Structure 1
Amino acid sequence: MKYVLATLVTVLTFFFAGSCQSQTKKQPQTQNQKKTDAQQLDAKDLRLTWEVVEEKYQGKNQTLSALTIKNNGKKALPAQGWTLYFHGSPSFKPKAGEGAPVKTEHISGDYLKMVPTANFKGLAAGASQSIEFVSAGLVINPFRAPQDFYLVWDQDKTKGYPIALEVQRPNHTKIDWLTPQDIYSQNQVIKDIPAEKLTKIFPTPAEYQETGQIFTLTQTVPVVADKAFQREADLLASHLGTIFGQKPAVKATGTGKAIKLQQRAGMGPEAYELTVTPQEVVISATTPAGAFYGTQSLKTLLPPSALAKRQNSVHVPGVQVKDNPRFGHRAYMMDVARNFQEKKQVLKVLDLMALYKINVFHFHFSDDEGWRLEIPGLPELTQVGGRRGHTLDENEFLAPAYGSGPEVDKLSGSGFYTRADFVEILKYARDRHIKVIPEIETPGHARAAVKAMDARYARLLKEGKKTEAEQYLLRDPQDKSVYRSVQNFNDNVMNVALPSTYNFLEKVTDELLSMYKEAGAPIETIHFGGDEVPAGVWERSPAVQELIASNSKVNNIDDLWYYYFGKVIDMLKQRNLYLSGWEEVGLTKVRKNGRLSYVANPDFVKDNVHVDIWNNRGENIDLPYRMANAGYKVVLTNVSHFYMDLAYQKSYDELGHNWGGYLDVDKPFSFIPFDYMKSMRVNENNDPISPSVFANKEQLKPEARANIVGLQAPLWSEMVKTPERLEYMLLPKLLGLAERAWAPDPAWATDPESAQSKAAYAQAWSEFTNVLGKRELPRLSHYAGGFKYRIPTVGTKVENGKVVANIQLPGFTVRYTTDGSEPTSKSKVYSGPISEKGTVKLKVFDAAGRGSRVTTVQNK
């Protein structure tokens, strides 16, 4: 979601593939079938190898690659009677065209199939065959390669068999990947700052002063809290219990040495003061939220090593702190629709957010590829929409996506949260002062819901319950519209002319509100998506034509947009909620001189619509400011600085998207919210941006600053299949968002091009990287069970006949070998230029012993 594919695809005819048919049943095997099975090749004996043959093939933005099929079995792969299903770009086609031994067909999304043609003559035991393919785009990293192949025999089309695939590393040089020398140059500005000179609370407080006097904390020191702050005190005591092995006492009153949480009137809604003396630790706040953030600051004030093993006592630095956030909306968006994360991982992420004062959890639980939340009364949403596997008709579960494989109920393609799970998540977030904004993706990006309601329709229609079957139907069965979304679906949009669509939305909304009520959790808004509805949708729907004929305010297809969101806004108002959505919910189409553009829609401004704006690319570089100037409440979700799913670097070994550029930890840190164009220094290809790009772009008006309500970092999960991958993509990048959303506006942001500001930025960047490397990442190695954050690779080059190296995060350790072996946590520590000749391998290690990728340099 929120991205544009590298190439346009041919629009195919809309189809509805047998939604009202029952899934094909596997018939009992006949004797002939059993005999055939005995003679059939075992799919496990097939091996696939994919490799790049030529980048920029024929001088175009495309790749020539080769797929080799090797038969390691004792039986032949027949010339016909099988299909290979896989995931990749729909542009993946055999080079030989009609003369190729196979042909590929796009099914939906990233899901394709490959079948033999009359030119395929079979593959004998021990034989192999290589087939060349051409596909759009360049293979920046392995994510662009085809993946997760599985075999289906024609004699039983209901069963898929996974096949091993090896993706070979390209050995060409047509892509200008980031080199170790480039990394070395980037790191040269970073200074190693002594730990005692670092600010010891993170994110950076508004006012911070160290006194030089310490407080000695032990498990016998109680937490004494006013009545309003008992929950916050209990959470703090639980954390201290993980340090000492025993939870300190929580009291309402007491004297003597203690941690005190005191309520004091007149402070901001999230403000706090923290004072540490040798006698006591005092946290003062007006609200429970303020008291909670005071306890989180105390947790980061503690030495990171305190969590590494059980402690008898911990020294707390003496400080005087006055603090409050810069923005009230500090958000992380978690996509569990594309690939699922279990409840325990969601709770762990909430712990991470709370520690760094990120107070909004944007919960993206529905999309084309999955619906992950149980809705009572609509079981198909999770039974069908929450499961993926090989299927002929998607009546029982969805087809695979993003390489989730043929087997149903296997993570990460399948999974959902029960109602009880979600109530638990809400309570957990509530206790940590995190607002949960649920997102119901509509009207586009809704394939999982559409298919689930199709299955419900088919079930009830079979039972003779036509009226009930149609109650929540999300598509017009007579719709012959032709469209294709940017993610290559042609059946993923709700029909907004159907009353049943609004029945569905009201049902889901009311069930959500019931869960929030049970959890005692606040809810002010629901996010209804609104992005990337493709051209051509609804144009040939009889239900739409009937609406246009009967409603004077709907004169054409474009008007359906305002009709739909007007009804959603009214529905939310009746429930004392406001609408949140992606930027499209607040845009209107304008055609001038035959050219289509989008401008802020004045009609919804008065309705307190909040928009998460990701698109600050191309002609829309200034879109967030245009919408804020028009009166919309804007959450800056800029792809250029906050998309956590973008690869850290332009390196083959860095898995991640690159359509929006590359996103290392410096991008979020360097973001200037009220003048972000000055933060945009490189384009999507990492090339310097010309100042002419910003000419005549609309700047944020001073009076519109109040309309920038906050910042958000989303992590789309197309390639995030495990908790470890999630944590790798998220950390340490998310800490840059935490700093910018909470800390005061830095001095270097006022005039970033001046020599004085550049020097101030270099100092601030050094301080930030030192805080991460020496305090926060070592803490996160153990916090909440430990996080598998990314460890940066070594920057290195050969200089004067010696290998020199540096790192992005001071506090981490570089180790190396000169015998060709991979460095381990026991290898030599780099402490200066390496004079040994030959192959030098270097690796960065954290305090817990985890390492980065290896960097190899030849010292000749």
Structure 2
Amino acid sequence: MRKILAAVILAFFTLAFTTTLAQNKKKQFDPKQLQLTYEVTDGKFQNKSQTLAVLTLTNKGKEPLPASGWTLYFHSFPALKPKDENAPVRVEHVNGDLRYLTPTSEFKGLSPGASKRIEFVSSGQIVNDSRTPHGFYLVWDNNKTEGLPTAPIEVSKPGQDWVGWVKPEEIYEQNAVIKDIPLEKLTKVFPTPVNYRETRESFRLTSETPIVADQAFSREAALLAMHLGSIFGKKPVVSATGPGKSVRLQQKNGLGAEAYELHVTKEGITIAASTPAGAFYGTQSLKTLIPPAALASKQQALLLPGVVVSDEPRFGHRALMLDVARNFQSKEQVCKILDLMALYKLNVLHFHLNDDEGWRIEVPGLPELTEVGGRRGHTTDEINSLQPSLGSGPEAGKSSGSGHYSKGEFIEILKYATDRHIRVIPEIETPGHARAAIKSMDARYARLMKEGKPEEAKRFLLRDLNDKSEYRSVQNWNDNVIDVSLPSTYTFLEKVVDEILAMYKEAGAPIRTIHMGGDEVPAGVWEKSPSVKALIAANPEVKGKEDLWYYFYGKVNDMLNARNLYLSGWEEIGLRKVKQNGKNVYVPNQDFKNKNFHVDVWNNLWGAEDLAYRMANAGYKVVLTNASNLYLDLAYQKAYEEPGLYWAGYLDLDKPFYFIPFNYMKNQKVDTINKPINKSVFEGKEQLTDFGKTNIVGLQAPLWSEMIKDPERMEYMLLPKLLGLAERAWAPDPAWATDENSAKGEAAYNQAWSEFVNILGKRELPRLSYYAGGYNYRIPTAGAVIENGKVKANLQLPGFTIRYTTDGSEPTLNSKTYTAPVPTTGEVKLKVFNPEGRSGRVVTVKDNTKQK
């Protein structure tokens, strides 16, 4: 009986406990029901460069948000703080751009349907949403290991223009110099070839036209056949010999390493080159001869214009830098970008594979690099993942914050690039921007110490565990710099380099250099590292902390040279800090100038306008990577709707196009805030010498990915700007770049600019609507002015169409086409459409003089 009674009592309490748990779980507030909005209320708060905004929390759920017991994490750069001292929340910084807010005693909870408005102040002004808080998630105090996403924050455009957004009138003025050039008068090979002539002949190309290729060019012939097969629905036959009309790839001695000749006559097509690379570029030029519309559907035949072309590139290094560390992109997307690069004859992919926010390549023997460093999610110890960054969210593996290339995938990328004559330069970012590597090796250390293997645990450590140095990087990290005094640092780098070289060997891909980073190491690092102090004491050549830089890159250079590689890096690897007139300045380091260091020089701002030329004149091999003209992640325009960063200004299609490699200061037009540049900033700056010109090895456009979380945004930021880089890197030095007569030079530039945008609008961008599955290139906004009661409009890309409405609705494909000035008594909305019907953003013009 007692047993029965005990069982009944136990069952009762079990049921009661289970019911209570279920009720508590049911009644707990669901963070997905927390709606957040952010609205700027004063873009010049207190007449300073700071912003006052309101963050509103609204409870859309059925349960109350309690007054305490939770923390709300989010991402923001710059910092923000509550305006009032007695605010209902306080804000704290975690690391990087991750912050959190917690309720104070002033927060009384949030009942269903209720809202709470909180004012925040942040430094600087908000031009677009890149400087607004995002990526919110909630963590309960009783379960601090789990992050729960809220509803996505809604950020509204400021109701007032405090920053001076670009106006339709300004765009109209910029476009005014552009002439519409008939399609038949445009050069049909892009980028612009050295010599180009059209004949009156043409050739009819079909799937039955064979491709006859010398043995040396068989791979190039196969790729051409694949492309033609996608147009015809059937691949042409590729053979080594054959009579009759054909596409012939012939080896011809005496041409340059990447040079080719292309002849199209009524009897056939001939591509001649000395090397497979030259033959490949001949086939890419042949592709641009094909009318873009032919890619939209299967064709029976193509009528190609007769041309005589002889061509070779201006620079041997024509690069795109792709950052997949901040936000990851798939192998398939990388290969799609390689197809784009190949079409426009870019031959270097600088692959930025690691940074503070992620490590993206598998390294056999070091699994933590990708298991920890390749994942971002909410964490209290970063043993299983890195902390969230850049709005990547609390759940590891569920956003572009996570991801990596397996060894097999990386080898596939290498093979794909090699087939298209693109060299892949892997970047191992060191010693700064290395947080993902440092934390990964910390996790490895913890695992092996737990297994009782202390010596193995220390083998690849990247920081002195007793280092008390304090610093903050530009991106707000306080733990992202490798300790260069540790022997384990070099053991790690040798392991990574050797594993990467093994992948290149397996892929059959060429590798001549590895990029070892070198930028943005903050002040304060290494100052309190016992290991550093021991190194300085034991090495007379290392006199202090500053010498550690040269010590590190000397050792790294030796390590690469021993593997028949040269060292590449950001400009800082070749600079030395010295005192001039009582100030610390950076000058080319004489110790490394003759050691074949290749430096990507990005800084041409804030007193460093001539840095690239000073380094080239000193003997360094320089890749021009100027932020002001070549940073593709910068917003196209100063417009709230335009995505992208703007710390170095705004980068529309024209900036890469008007970049003059050997005299870039001559043609700078605006400063970082888009005002006409003060030419006095160039006074006294060092010009490029004839010797320096021999050290300019090429051009590079970086695409940093802080704000790029999907393939569509990547393609939007790349295109069409990348085509300006392609033109400058390949085409001959244009006459307008060297003309001393300013009026004559400006007229020549305007003509060249018109030809360029006509080619893009009528040939290349319509092609890219279909090529390799199609690219999400940006469609420009219309320019517009009101004159004599009428709206006059123009566009950047002839061949595209402006449509408009006068009833307040957004223009569609069914709206009227703009062909002449439009009478207005109120509001006109305009939008640019590409030939395939995709559109850009709306421009609104109001005739305020006629408003009641």
Shorter-chain TM-score: which interval? over 0.9
Q: Which residue of 1 aligns with 2:341?
A: 353
CA distances 1:210-240 after superposition (whole Å, capped 9, x unpaired):
0021111101001100000000000001000
Q: Which residue of 1 aligns with 2:4?
A: none
d(CA) in 2 for partners of 1:381 and 1:444? 16
Superposition TM-score, scaled by structure 2 size: 0.97
> Which SS does the other structure have where 1:619 is aligned?
coil
d(CA) in 2 for partners of 1:463 and 1:413? 30
Q: Which residue of 2 aligns with 1:277?
A: 265
- TM-superposed CA distance for 1:75, in Å, is 2.0
- TM-superposed CA distance for 1:575, in Å, is 0.2
CA distances 1:158-185 after superposition (whole Å, capped 9, x unpaired):
2222122110111112211101111011
CA distances 1:452-476 after superposition (whole Å, capped 9, x unpaired):
0000000001000111111100010
> Which SS does the other structure have where 2:381 is aligned?
coil
Q: Which residue of 2 aligns with 1:558?
A: 546
Q: Does 1:161 align with 2:148?
A: yes
> Which SS does the other structure have where 2:594 is aligned?
helix
Match of 1:232 among 215, 220, 223: 220
Q: Output aligned runs, 1:832-847, within 5 Å.
A: 832-847=820-835
Q: Output aligned runs, 1:147-186, within 5 Å.
A: 147-164=134-151, 165-186=153-174
- TM-superposed CA distance for 1:826, in Å, is 2.1
Q: Which residue of 2 aligns with 1:142?
A: 129
CA distances 1:588-627 after superposition (whole Å, capped 9, x unpaired):
0102344111000011122100000000001101000000
Contact 2:75–2:133 (CA under 8 A) maintained in structure 1: yes
> Which SS does the other structure have where 1:676 is aligned?
coil
* Residue segments in structure 2 that go unaligned for 5+ positions in a row: 1-16
Q: Which residue of 1 aligns with 2:80?
A: 92
d(CA) in 2 for partners of 1:804 and 1:348? 39
Letter in structure 2 aligned against 1:172: Q
d(CA) in 1 for partners of 2:267 and 2:42? 69
Q: Which residue of 2 aligns with 1:123?
A: 110
Match of 1:433 among 408, 421, 434: 421
* Residue segments in structure 1 that go unaligned for 5+ positions in a row: 1-28
Contact 1:450–1:475 (CA under 8 A) maintained in structure 2: yes
d(CA) in 2 for partners of 1:249 and 1:736? 35
Q: Does 1:75 align with 2:63?
A: yes
d(CA) in 1 for partners of 2:776 and 2:138? 34
Contact 1:90–1:106 (CA under 8 A) maintained in structure 2: no
Match of 1:498 among 475, 481, 486: 486
Contact 1:752–1:758 (CA under 8 A) maintained in structure 2: no
Contact 1:435–1:523 (CA under 8 A) maintained in structure 2: yes
Q: Which residue of 2 aligns with 1:374?
A: 362
d(CA) in 2 for partners of 1:592 and 1:279? 68
Match of 2:676 among 676, 688, 712: 688
- TM-superposed CA distance for 1:287, in Å, is 0.3
d(CA) in 1 for partners of 2:764 and 2:140? 52
CA distances 1:141-164 after superposition (whole Å, capped 9, x unpaired):
011110111111111112222122
d(CA) in 2 for partners of 1:348 and 1:62? 41
Q: Which residue of 2 aligns with 1:830?
A: 818
- TM-superposed CA distance for 1:118, in Å, is 1.6
Q: Which residue of 2 aligns with 1:251?
A: 239
> Which SS does the other structure have where 1:547 is aligned?
helix
Contact 1:261–1:283 (CA under 8 A) maintained in structure 2: yes
Let me know the Cα RMSD of the aligned residues.
1.1
Match of 1:42 among 30, 44, 47: 30
> Which SS does the other structure have where 1:409 is aligned?
coil
d(CA) in 2 for partners of 1:30 and 1:547? 62
Superposition TM-score, scaled by structure 1 size: 0.96
Q: Which residue of 1 aligns with 2:94?
A: 107
Contact 1:774–1:811 (CA under 8 A) maintained in structure 2: yes
> Which SS does the other structure have where 2:120 is aligned?
strand
Q: Which structure ranks higher in relative contact order (CA pairs < 8 Å, sequence separation ≥ 6)?
A: 1
- TM-superposed CA distance for 1:745, in Å, is 0.2
Q: Which residue of 2 aligns with 1:4?
A: none
Match of 2:595 among 581, 586, 607: 607
Q: Output aligned runs, 1:442-453, within 5 Å.
A: 442-453=430-441
Q: Which residue of 2 aligns with 1:648?
A: 636
Aligned-residue identity in percent: 66
- TM-superposed CA distance for 1:821, in Å, is 1.7
- TM-superposed CA distance for 1:89, in Å, is 2.0
d(CA) in 1 for partners of 2:822 and 2:607? 49
Structure index of larger Rg: 2
Contact 1:123–1:129 (CA under 8 A) maintained in structure 2: yes
> Which SS does the other structure have where 2:764 is aligned?
helix
Q: Which residue of 1 aligns with 2:685?
A: 697
Q: Output aligned runs, 1:302-451, within 5 Å.
A: 302-451=290-439
Gap change, CA 1:624 and 1:31, over 3 Å in 2: farther
> Which SS does the other structure have where 2:592 is aligned?
helix
Contact 2:789–2:824 (CA under 8 A) maintained in structure 1: no
The alignment covers a number of residue pairs equal to 831
Letter in structure 2 aligned against 1:654: E
- TM-superposed CA distance for 1:858, in Å, is 2.2
Q: Which residue of 1 aligns with 2:499?
A: 511
Contact 1:585–1:611 (CA under 8 A) maintained in structure 2: yes
d(CA) in 2 for partners of 1:703 and 1:598? 21
Gap change, CA 1:151 and 1:253, over 3 Å in 2: same
> Which SS does the other structure have where 1:317 is aligned?
strand
Letter in structure 2 aligned against 1:747: A
Letter in structure 2 aligned against 1:521: A
Letter in structure 2 aligned against 1:261: L
Letter in structure 2 aligned against 1:160: G
Letter in structure 1 aligned against 2:332: K
Q: Which residue of 2 aligns with 1:596?
A: 584
Contact 2:808–2:827 (CA under 8 A) maintained in structure 1: yes
Q: Which residue of 1 aligns with 2:709?
A: 721
Q: Which residue of 1 aligns with 2:6?
A: none
Q: Which runs of 4+ in 1 moved over 3 A?
A: 29-36
Match of 2:451 among 458, 463, 485: 463
> Which SS does the other structure have where 2:587 is aligned?
strand
CA distances 1:359-402 after superposition (whole Å, capped 9, x unpaired):
00000010000000000000000000000111111100011111
Contact 2:95–2:477 (CA under 8 A) maintained in structure 1: yes
Contact 1:645–1:729 (CA under 8 A) maintained in structure 2: yes
